[in-house]
């Protein structure tokens, strides 16, 4: 059976981008057709300036939202990264296979490091090595497929490269994974800055639809979305990024093809109105279920406890094999 692994990072409130680009497919498709693991990757949230209490709160919220989005613990494994030591254990070994140069080429590192420096802050070493930890997340489980939005494909490529390099040097140990992305909405853009990704860590609220935004807040945000100069509604990602973003969101939420949908509208206002309503309808059941789960924190805790136990059992043999292959002495075998 195909092994699937993916995760979300609790650095901010989860967004419509997270949902349409990743989570929705995990629930609707991946958990049904594969042996799937979904993870709140909290160690990754420590790579930038963070508040410990907030990370804890967001981790709990992200786990509830994964379940609210439809992940079913009977069908897949849901857990928190820091509950399973194998991730950090494998990450170090993979750091011994990765190079400084390839880390510095990662687009997200370049962007985030530049932003940190602009703010006058220092760049944590873990921000540079982050993609290796992500590779460890993936490779520890013998993952075949990694369902992600487009912004993560370079990181998954790195995981592939490290797997191939490790296998060549030290013998076959890792499955070589591949990224999969949805046909539409693989890169949902900020509503006010449609050339930038809708990212949860940016915290520029008005251009970002959060999964827990009230319907009226969603409507307001979508109605205020930046559209492009020009009058007719056409789907053109390069020339009309604001419009294209709305059409993709509408297509992802209500069904259909963005280019065909464009032909149905002769005003931006009508397009925005339908898009806003489509988003509200998509978020409604997720929000309802999230509210129920908030009233039952013991349930979520239990799911995470069992998930971590299962995940540990799955990762351990592969990580042990990697330790042996790379030359580390297995415990209890130190006889001369
Ligand atoms: P994160 O937390 O930024 O995002 C979680 C998932 O949501 C997708 N996504 C988007 N898709 C479309 N449009 C957007 N605007 C948008 N914003 C986010 C992301 O592509 C991702 O699939 N490094 C990862 C977390 C991670 C991970 C892993 C993922 C750590 N280890 C192992 C897969 C496998 C991240 O920061 O995702």
| Residues 6+ away with beta carbon under 8 Å from 92 | none
pLDDT tens readout for residues 106-120: 998 999 899 888 888
CATH of the domain at 123: 3.40.50.620
Q: Which atom of ligand 1 is nearest to the CA of 189?
A: 15
Q: How many CA atoms lie within 13 A of 64 on its CB side?
A: 22
Burial annotation 27-53 (CB, 10 A radius, 16+ → b, else e): beebbeebbbbbbbbbbbbbbbeeeee
- Assess whether 171 and 55 both reside in one domain: yes
From 3, 9, 61, 137, the mutation candidate for ligand 1 (largest count of ligand atoms within 8 A of CB) is: 9
From 149, 202, 237, the mutation candidate for ligand 1 (largest count of ligand atoms within 8 A of CB) is: 149
What confidence score (pLDDT) does residue 333 get? 73
- Bridge-based pairing of strands 178-180 and 35-40 is unpaired
| Residues 6+ away with beta carbon under 8 Å from 9 | 41, 42, 44, 45
The answer to whether 190 is annotated as binding is no
Q: Are 184 and 248 in contact (CB under 8 A)?
A: yes
Tell me, using a 6 A CB cutoff, whether residue 245 lines ligand 1.
no
User: Is 238 inside a domain boundary?
Assistant: yes
Q: Are 29 and 77 in contact (CB under 8 A)?
A: no
Average pLDDT over residues 31-54: 96
Q: Structure pTM? A: 0.96
- Assess whether 30 and 57 both reside in one domain: yes
- Bridge-based pairing of strands 178-180 and 3-8 is unpaired
| Residue of 42 and 120 predicted with greater confidence | 42
**Is the predicted pLDDT of residue 55 greater than 90, yes or no?**
yes
User: Is 332 inside a domain boundary?
Assistant: no
User: Is 331 inside a domain boundary?
Assistant: no
**Is the predicted pLDDT of residue 332 greater than 90, yes or no?**
no
Tell me, using a 6 A CB cutoff, whether residue 129 lines ligand 1.
no
pLDDT band at 196 (very low <50, low <70, confident <90, very high): very high
Q: Are 211 and 13 in contact (CB under 8 A)?
A: yes
What confidence score (pLDDT) does residue 200 get? 82
What residue owns the CA closest to ligand 1's atom 34? 6
CATH of the domain at 261: 1.10.240.10
User: Is 154 inside a domain boundary?
Assistant: yes
**Is the predicted pLDDT of residue 336 greater than 70, yes or no?**
no
The answer to whether 180 is annotated as binding is no
Q: If you measure from the C-alpha of residue 100 to the centroid of ligand 1, how many angstroms do you get, rounded to a whole number?
A: 23
User: Is 102 inside a domain boundary?
Assistant: yes
In percent, how much of the chain has pLDDT > 90? Answer: 90
pLDDT tens readout for residues 222-256: 999 999 888 889 999 999 999 999 999 999 999 99
- Assess whether 131 and 230 both reside in one domain: no
For residues 3 and 240, give the distance between their C-alpha atoms in angstroms, rounded to a whole number: 38
Average pLDDT over residues 97-107: 95
DSSP string, 132-164: HHHHHHHHTTT-SEEE--GGGHHHHHHHHHHHH
For residues 336 and 329, give the distance between their C-alpha atoms in angstroms, rounded to a whole number: 12
The answer to whether 274 is annotated as binding is no
Q: Is 273 a catalytic residue?
A: no
- Which residue in 110, 197, 221, 272 is the catalytic one? 197
User: Is 335 inside a domain boundary?
Assistant: no
Average pLDDT over residues 131-146: 98
What confidence score (pLDDT) does residue 229 get? 83
Q: Is 221 a catalytic residue?
A: no
- The single-letter DSSP state of residue 209 is -
Tell me, using a 6 A CB cutoff, whether residue 307 lines ligand 1.
no
User: Is 336 inside a domain boundary?
Assistant: no
Q: Is 220 a catalytic residue?
A: no
- Assess whether 174 and 280 both reside in one domain: no
- Assess whether 170 and 74 both reside in one domain: yes
- Assess whether 281 and 310 both reside in one domain: no
For residues 251 and 258, give the distance between their C-alpha atoms in angstroms, rounded to a whole number: 6
- Assess whether 240 and 117 both reside in one domain: no
What residue owns the CA closest to ligand 1's atom 6? 18
- Assess whether 322 and 261 both reside in one domain: no
**In terms of residue numbers, what domain contains 235?**
215-292
Q: Read off φ and ψ for residue 197, nearest 5 degrees.
A: -65, 145
**Is the predicted pLDDT of residue 335 greater than 90, yes or no?**
no
User: Is 147 inside a domain boundary?
Assistant: yes
Q: If you measure from the C-alpha of residue 135 to the centroid of ligand 1, how many angstroms do you get, rounded to a whole number?
A: 13
Tell me, using a 6 A CB cutoff, whether residue 187 lines ligand 1.
yes
Average pLDDT value over all residues in the chain: 95
Domain count of the chain?
2
- Assess whether 40 and 123 both reside in one domain: yes
- Assess whether 17 and 160 both reside in one domain: yes
The answer to whether 201 is annotated as binding is yes
Average pLDDT over residues 195-220: 89
Separation of CA 208 from chain center: 16
Taking the alpha carbons at both ends of the chain, their separation in whole angstroms is 42
- Assess whether 320 and 288 both reside in one domain: no
- Assess whether 280 and 320 both reside in one domain: no
The answer to whether 18 is annotated as binding is yes
Tell me, using a 6 A CB cutoff, whether residue 60 lines ligand 1.
no
């Amino acid at each position: 059976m195909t092994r699937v692994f993916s995760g979300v990072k609790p650095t901010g409130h989860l967004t419509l981008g997270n949902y349409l680009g990743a989570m929705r497919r995990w629930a609707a498709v991946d958990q049904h057709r594969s042996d799937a693991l979904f993870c709140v990757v909290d160690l990754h949230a420590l790579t930038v300036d963070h508040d410990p209490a907030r990370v804890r709160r967001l981790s709990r919220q992200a786990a509830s939202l994964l379940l609210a989005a439809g992940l079913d613990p009977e069908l897949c494994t849901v857990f928190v990264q820091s509950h399973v030591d194998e991730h950090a254990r494998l990450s170090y070994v993979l750091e011994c296979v990765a190079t400084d140069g390839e880390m510095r080429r990662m687009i997200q590192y370049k962007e985030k490091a530049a932003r940190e420096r602009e703010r006058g802050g220092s760049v944590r070493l873990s921000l540079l090595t982050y993609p290796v930890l992500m590779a460890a997340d993936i490779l520890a489980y013998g993952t075949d497929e990694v369902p992600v939005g487009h912004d993560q494909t370079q990181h998954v490529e790195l995981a592939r490269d490290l797997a191939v390099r490790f296998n060549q040097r030290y013998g076959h140990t890792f499955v070589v994974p591949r990224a999969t992305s949805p046909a539409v909405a693989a890169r949902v853009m900020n509503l006010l800055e449609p050339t930038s990704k809708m990212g949860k860590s940016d915290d520029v609220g008005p251009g970002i639809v959060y999964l827990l935004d009230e319907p009226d807040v969603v409507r307001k945000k979508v109605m205020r979305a930046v559209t492009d100069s020009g009058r007719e509604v056409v789907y053109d990602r390069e020339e009309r990024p604001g419009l294209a973003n709305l059409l993709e969101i509408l297509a992802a939420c209500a069904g259909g093809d963005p280019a065909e949908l464009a032909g149905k509208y002769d005003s931006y206002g009508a397009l925005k109105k339908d898009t806003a309503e489509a988003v509200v309808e998509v978020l409604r059941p997720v929000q309802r279920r999230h509210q129920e789960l908030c009233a039952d924190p013991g349930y979520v805790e239990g799911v995470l406890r069992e998930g971590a136990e299962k995940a540990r059992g799955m990762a351990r043999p592969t990580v042990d094999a990697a330790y042996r292959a790379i030359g580390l002495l297995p415990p209890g075998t130190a006889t001369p």
